[in-house]
Amino acid sequence: MTRRTRPQSKTDEEAFPVRVWFYVPKRGLGRLVTPIYDWLDQNVGRTCYAVHSGGSNAKGDRIAVYFRLPSDAQAFVAAFPSLELADGTVFPSYYSPQR
């Protein structure tokens, strides 16, 4: 019988309930990669975040950053204002009673 290990992304989905998706710039993350990981390591800690592909949608490729705490996600968004949120609220099909 073959045993398969569980994909890390599935484990992280359970461990890190807060997720934020960002669009990857057309030329990639480039010089932002090192500052992003340095910031995460220094401000959140390696055991309190994960980074995965966020798939893609009509606007482009995405990156997903998983956190344990909403405050960490909020601080990350504030620290990297050049990253565009990929939450789907810009699409005409998005519906919210508040809109």
The three-point CA angle 35-38-39 to 5° equals: 85
- Reading the chain (99 residues) residue by residue, the pLDDT tens digits are 677 888 888 888 889 999 999 999 888 889 999 999 999 999 999 999 999 988 887 778 999 999 999 999 999 999 999 999 987 665 666 566 665
Question: How many other CB atoms are there within 10 angstroms of residue 37's CB atom?
Answer: 13
**What's the rounded Cα separation, in Å, for the pair 80 and 43?**
13
Single pTM value for the model = 0.81
The β-bridge partners of 57 are 60
